Structures are given as structure tokens and as C-alpha cells.
Structure 1
Amino acid sequence: MRRFVAPETQQAAADELVAAGAPAVRAVLDVLCDEESPVEWSTSAGVLRRIGRPALEPLMEAMAEAPTQEVARRAGWAYSGLVIDDLAVFEPGLRHPSPKVRSNTAYVMQLKGEEALPYAPRLIEMLTDPDAGVRQRAHWALEGLGPQVVPLLKEVRRSRTAGRLRAPALAALASVGGPAALDERDLALVRRLVRIKMRDEVPEPMHLDGSWFALPTGDRDAVLDAFDLSDPEPVTMRMGAAAWGQEHHGQGWITSSRMYVTPCFNGWTLVFGCPVDDDDAEVRDTVLEWCERLSARFGAAHWYGISCGDGWTAWCVAEHGRAVRYYDAFEEDDQIGTGHPAEEGHLLPHEDGFPEDAFDDLDTSDSDAFRVRYEQVKAELGIPDTCEAPEFAARASVDPSALGPGTRVEGHGVLALTALGREEGHPRGALPI
């Protein structure tokens, strides 16, 4: 049981340890690394951060020899915030035998931004580090250093002796400077690789978090025209999904600078992203307008939305210029139409089919016990499953989260710019091919 210590007393003790400097480092570090200590770990980490330079090597050692991930995390947090003006003292950490130390030191460089430019050559070398985590952290650190590393990355790309470094340097170049930083040779190389990968690519389930349209057509040019999209760039399905995820994950309804237009899946072309350019637009009104306009052109148009974070799910169906169904789990009073065939035999997300007393005698904080009771009551009373956007899409068009080897694929996908994208260009960032 922890004993209460007044904040002012804690602060005074911390100040004394900081004033003691190097002699206090080992004792404070021992407390930091003791997962059973009654002292809050962030308190001891904060003291080490303030002590600064004398704590640097001991924290490197603690990270390298940490018995658990938690201890390594604590030491890394203290290390990344050390109050040290001379960034050069961190440089040995970029070459340390421990990947934990190398990764955390690259993170320090990332936090320093342009100040860390002298260490960019070493960060570039770390793009081929044996440890995948270090490679990723070096990539992020180069992004943090900003556009001034572009010439260095281009030099690596043109070097005949760069060897294995050339490919990750290309990815870093795209992330730091965007497509504009790639010269014609690099762009040609990427496009050639995309063409090769597209030949044998097998559809894979997509992680859904955002909104998309579905149109019963394989006419990609007509789809691009309908959304006022331009500069289409052929992409693999993996690239398209990653682009949508980068721009929309966790954000839901936001204006897109580019949209992913898929190949034709089982007779349906899917369009991921949001073409809206009015920040004040109501989602419902905008969706209805788009679906009705699109359905007048293609015979039908569907829109789906889902958030993996808060339970939001929605869909809209329009046919021949008229919306026949609209549902939003968070706005159930604003529905249009009822009983769409794709919902048949299912509950809507806002509907609760369970009796009010179904869980009265159960500790609902026990998730395992709740799940057992939930399934038991559901089976006994014949309570239907709940229909959400993926389930609706699976019955009405195509469920992107269920794509697989059995999905019929025609053509290839593209990333294309919206009106916003034509003003701002493609977002920076490398995409997996």
C-alpha cells in the first residue's frame, strides 16, 4: 500500500536528487527499474531527465540489459527526455550493440528535428539495420529532420556503391519529400514494380475505418469523371488500401486529397475517401446528394461508413436518382426507408433485442462471464445478429473486409487526386507495394 506524500515534499526530494547529480543516478535508476517500487516510475524518470548528462550511459545500459519490456520502456522514456544541450553525446547510441538503444537514440534525433541534421548520414545507414524496429525508427527520424535530408537521400539513390541501401532510401525519399522529390528514373522504377506486382496480386481483406462508395460498374474512366478525379496513378490493391488507411484511420469523415478507386470486384467498383470540400456540410445531406447523383448515372450507388473506435456505422442506397435507404447508428431518427433486403433477419445497431433483466445478476466488469451469458441468452431467445456496414455491404454489393482469393477481379486500381489534391498534391509518405 502506498503512503501518501504531499506533492511539495515529493518535489523537494526530487530537487535534492537533481542537485546531487551523478552520485544520485544509480540509486534513482534502481528505483526506476524496480517494477515493485512504491515510487511512481515517472517520478524517478523525471529526476534522471533533469540530471541530464551523467544519466546518459547508465540509461543506455539499463535499456540494453532490461529484464522486461516495461523496464526498457521506462528507461527509454527517461533517455529520450534527458536535458542535454550537446546532441553529439547521443551519437554513440546510434551505433550501440543493443537495438533498443539504437532505436531510442534515433527517436531522440527525430524529436530534435533540423538540429539533428549532422547525424542524417548515420540515420540513412540505419535504414538497413538488422532490426526491423530500428529501421522503422530511422525512417521516422529522417521524416522528422525534414526536407533538408532530401539531397542526401538522392545522393544515396544515385550512388553505385549504395547496394542494399538504395531501396529503403527511395522509400524514405518519398516520405520526406513526397512524389515531387522522385526523379523520372525513380518514378519509372516504382511504376514498373507496381505493374509487376499487379499481375499476380490476390485480393486481401481491408481494415475498415472511414467511408467508401460502391458502384455497379467496371468503367473506371466514368467513375473518375463522376467524382471529378484526375491524375490517376495505377496502384496495387495493397497500395490503395494503405493510402486510404494513412489518410483516414481514426478520423472518419474528412476531405480527401486523393481517393482510391479499386479494380472491379464481383461487378462493383469501390471508391475510398471523401470528395467533400465543404467543412460545414452535414454528412447525411452530402451523402444523399452524392448517392442520388451517382445512381442517376450508374443505376445504383451505395455509401458505407464505419469507425473501428466508437461503434459508428452507416449506409446509404440510392437507385435511379433517388435515395431508398439511409441509416446512421448515431442518428437513428434520420432514417430514410425501412426494411432493406440486406437488413432482413438482423437487428439494426441501435436496437437491443435482449430483455432488460438479462444481465441483472451478472458482474458486467467480468468480460469473459458477460460474453458467455450474452451468447447463452442470444441462443436461447433466438436473438438475431446485428447488421453493420460490412454485413450490409456483403449482401448488397461487396464487403471490402471479406475480399479474398474467391473475389472476381477485373482491371486494376488507381489513386487519383480530388480538387483539394490538385491544389496540395499527393500527401507525403511511402506506400507498401
Structure 2
Amino acid sequence: MKIETLVKRLAGPGHRAASDALVALGARAVRPVLDVLCDEDSPVDWATSATVLRRIGRPALDPLIEAMATAPTAEVARRCGWAHSGLEIDDISAFVPGLRHPSPRVRANSAYTLQLKGETALPHAPDLIALLNDPDPDVRQRAIWALPELGPGVVPLLRDIRRSSTAGRLRRPALTALAEVAGPAGLDDRDLAAVRRLIRVKQAAEVPEPMHLCGTWFAVPTGDQKAVLEAFDLTDPEPVTMRLGASAWNGDHHGWDSAHHACRRLYVSPCLDGWTLVFGNPFHSAESFEQDQFMDHWRTLSTRFGEAHWYGASCGDDWTAWCVAEKGEIVRYYDIYEEDDQIGGPHPAEEGYVLPHIDPFPDDAFDGIDIGDSEAFGARYNRLKAELGIPDPCHATTFAARASVDPSSLGRQTEVRGHGVLALTACGREHGHPRGALEI
């Protein structure tokens, strides 16, 4: 059967037989299948043609690299990259020349392919390390992501570069890679001292920045950092910039292994407008959410500090929540997903707002509007909101701005006393800091 006929059959429901036949043809089938893969209008599902190339293996390597390098669109480059990263080639050294290809797309995807090979790619770690000084930032980032997957054997290689007098420009990115591979535990005394010096310099001139909020945080009206650490059972405080603290909080909760990292350490802010903010999960397990445990913690905090707040916000959906405890009692609790379990309220910080689970518009407010027409919907929404005097919804940040401090609105106007720290929880004392490079 002609190759063209087999390729056409890849679009049919019984494409498996055609796929097997094309794989059996090997190198002869590569170009026709690759042409289909790169044709965004082809009736053949791109994943089907890419899988055929993956199964063909080595004969498809160079043609895929060429197609990736010359791809006319980002979509074609993505398809070729996916096929390339899964090529069934036993000798993974075949992918190493791609790390030195003129195209940054090819270099980045070759690094990703070695990343997928895990510790079996360790012999090629020096080739990946060389990419830490690549002129393309995406390639540099891909190398940093790839190195941790090669296992702990990467650490001594990076340490040797840090101590080498001939490594030149590789020395600085090697420090970032060390932090990504092993966290603070991967840094020797000289590197730790250098990082701490840089943090002290940055702290002296740091201006508060709005924080990206996705998670939970506490607020207590005190500047006594030692008391806050004791109240949260935190130890080993390490001074950090505000940017570093925010980077750690977001990284720990959104990284590849957040279920194991999120409970190890907390970011305790400087005193901000009279409030200390604590970001993270103070309990021993990221999976063991117990509302009673949280409530007891708020009560205890408010007994110690007179008042304690907890806030929650999500960047992925509309979740928002807040809780206020005063002198040992919960005076207000609200969660948009648990509107029937509210405690207290309304709180003064909610005045002039509508709770976000409430739809304040009349039932017929959007009759005749196509919900899919965002422009028409927005125009009707804004008109009715103004005509009917409908207030804005209250969210954790609007509540915090009135009741304590809104981390998303930090700036030059924020009064800062002291400095922030990263401190270990009981889980962190057992397992140490998570790995991962952080912004300083």
C-alpha cells in the first residue's frame, strides 16, 4: 500500500493499522508523516501523526529538529517539540547535539527531553550546565528546570563550578541552579554567606511591592516578630527580602510538589502599617485541613495579640474567605463556598459592599443578552450597576484593606518596620527547606 494512502488513513477511526504500517516503513515514512504533522489544516489529528514519528524513533530525529527550527508558527513548533521529546531512542546521547543547535527552540526542547530521562541523563549534565549561560532566557530557564531531575549527582558538578576560577560567567547561574536542585542545603558556607550579604543589601533599600495573592495568610496587630514566631511554633528564622518571602510562599504552594512543600516553612512579613502578616500553612500536613483546628488557632492567636485575622484568596477561581477573632472569640467568619456556615456579621469592613455569593441583580437583568457576548454583557452589567446603585462585591483583599493590611496593595505608602523572615514549621524541621531558586 502506498505511503500516501496510509497517511490519509491516519484520519480514520481505524488509524492504528495505518500507524503500525507507517512505523514499519521507518525512515521512508518520516517526511510524509511530518508534513501532515506540520499542516495545521490536516484532517489527521496532530497527536496521531506525532505518535507515529515517536515510534519510528531515530530516523525522525533530525527531520523533527529541522522542522522545529523552521516552524512557521508556535503551534507547529509545539507539535514538533512534543514528537521530539518522546522519540523512542535507546541511546539518549542522540539528543545531546540538539543542546548546541543554532535554534533556541531546539536547544530548549532538547534540554526538556533530557529532563524527562531523569537520572539516566546524568552523564550529560555538563552539557545541560553549559546552557545556564545561554543567550536565550527560555533556554536558560529550561536548563534550570531540567537539572534537578537528573538527581543529586548534579550537586557536586555545580559546586565545582562555583569554586572554579575558570568558570567565568557560569558561576552566577550555577548558584541559581544549586538552589533549584537542592535548596539552601545545596549551598556551602561561602555561598550561603554570599546570599545573606546580598539579602542584607537588598533589605536596606527595598520598597514594598504588591503581592500576588493565591492562598491563605494571617494578620496580627503587632510588630513583635519573636512573639509571632512563638505563636506559630516557628524556628530557624532566616532574614529575607519581602520579594523573597513572597516568592517562597507562591513557589511552595504552586510548585511541582506543593503537597509536600507547602507546610514546611512560613513567610513572616516585616511589621506593615502596624500588622505582621504570616503566609502559609502552619499545620503539620498540607492535606490535613481541619476547620476546628484552624478555628482554635485563630482563637489562641487573638487571645495572645488581642485580635487575629485569616484571609484566603484564589487566582484560579472566585474563592475568597476571611475570619476575624477577638480576645478568644470568632466574631466573623465568611467563605464564599460555605455561605450557610457564616459566623457573626456583618463586619464593619464589609459595609458598603455585597457579599460575593449574593447576586444583587434582578432576575431579569440580563434577559436578551448572549452570555457569550462579553462586550454586551459588560455594558448591561455596568449600566444596571450604576442605575440601581449596586455595590461592589467584598473580597478578602477589600476586607483586609479596611480591617488590617491588603498585601496586594503594598507600596511606598506602606510603613515598614523590621524585616521579614522565612521560618520552619515542625514539618520543615524534619524535612528541611524545599528545593527551588527564589527571587531576592
Give the TM-score, by structure 2 length. Answer: 0.95
Q: Secondary structure at the match of 2:322?
A: strand
Q: Deviations over 1:157-195 (max 9, x none)?
A: 110111111111111112212222211111100100100
Q: Which moved more, 1:338-347 or 1:355-364?
A: 355-364
> Could you tell me which of 292, 309, 329 is aligned with 2:316?
309
1:63 and 2:68 matched: yes
Q: Which residue of 2 aligns with 1:415?
A: 422
> Could you tell me which of 352, 359, 366 is aligned with 2:359?
352
Q: Deviations over 1:225-244 (max 9, x none)?
A: 11110000000111100100
Unaligned runs of 5+ residues in structure 2 are 1-7
Q: 1:7-156, aligned counterparts within 5 Å?
A: 7-8=13-14, 10-156=15-161
Q: Secondary structure at the match of 1:429?
A: coil
The answer as to whether partners of 2:216 and 2:279 remain within 8 angstroms in 1 is yes
The answer as to whether partners of 1:91 and 1:119 remain within 8 angstroms in 2 is yes
Over 3 Å counting, the alpha-carbon distance change for 1:313 and 1:326 in structure 2 is same
Over 3 Å counting, the alpha-carbon distance change for 1:377 and 1:221 in structure 2 is same
Over 3 Å counting, the alpha-carbon distance change for 1:283 and 1:368 in structure 2 is farther
Q: 1:339-418, aligned counterparts within 5 Å?
A: 339-418=346-425
Q: 1: distance between equivalents of 2:130 and 2:287?
A: 46
The answer as to whether partners of 1:211 and 1:253 remain within 8 angstroms in 2 is no
Root-mean-square deviation over aligned CA pairs: 1.9
The answer as to whether partners of 1:28 and 1:48 remain within 8 angstroms in 2 is yes
Shift of 1:282: 5.1
Structure 2: which amino acid aligns with 1:276?
F
1:296 and 2:303 matched: yes
The answer as to whether partners of 1:236 and 1:413 remain within 8 angstroms in 2 is yes
Q: 2: distance between equivalents of 1:249 and 1:176?
A: 17
Q: Deviations over 1:372-413 (max 9, x none)?
A: 221122112111100010110011010001111111111100
> Could you tell me which of 243, 246, 250 is aligned with 1:245?
250
Q: 2: distance between equivalents of 1:310 and 1:89?
A: 43
Q: 1: distance between equivalents of 2:260 and 2:227?
A: 24
Q: Which residue of 2 aligns with 1:272?
A: 279
Q: 2: distance between equivalents of 1:313 and 1:90?
A: 46
Shift of 1:283: 4.4
The answer as to whether partners of 1:226 and 1:294 remain within 8 angstroms in 2 is yes
Q: 1: distance between equivalents of 2:259 and 2:91?
A: 42
Instruction: Indicate the percent of aligned positions where both proteins have the same amino acid.
Output: 68
Shift of 1:317: 0.6
Q: Secondary structure at the match of 1:178?
A: helix
Q: 2: distance between equivalents of 1:382 and 1:181?
A: 58
Structure 1: which amino acid aligns with 2:383?
Q
Structure 1: which amino acid aligns with 2:117?
K
1:338 and 2:345 matched: yes
1:234 and 2:239 matched: yes
The answer as to whether partners of 1:253 and 1:274 remain within 8 angstroms in 2 is no
Unaligned runs of 5+ residues in structure 1 are none
Q: 1: distance between equivalents of 2:365 and 2:193?
A: 62
Q: Secondary structure at the match of 1:330?
A: coil
Shift of 1:30: 1.0
Shift of 1:328: 0.9
1:320 and 2:327 matched: yes
Q: Which residue of 2 aligns with 1:424?
A: 431
Structure 1: which amino acid aligns with 2:57?
G
Q: 1: distance between equivalents of 2:209 and 2:86?
A: 41
Shift of 1:284: 3.2
The answer as to whether partners of 2:285 and 2:427 remain within 8 angstroms in 1 is no
Q: Which residue of 1 aligns with 2:169?
A: 164
Over 3 Å counting, the alpha-carbon distance change for 1:279 and 1:149 in structure 2 is closer
Q: 2: distance between equivalents of 1:372 and 1:387?
A: 21
Shift of 1:254: 8.8
Q: 1: distance between equivalents of 2:27 and 2:380?
A: 58
The answer as to whether partners of 2:11 and 2:44 remain within 8 angstroms in 1 is no
Over 3 Å counting, the alpha-carbon distance change for 1:172 and 1:279 in structure 2 is closer
Q: Deviations over 1:338-381 (max 9, x none)?
A: 11010001110111101111112111122222222211221121
Q: Deviations over 1:86-120 (max 9, x none)?
A: 11111110100000000000001100011111111
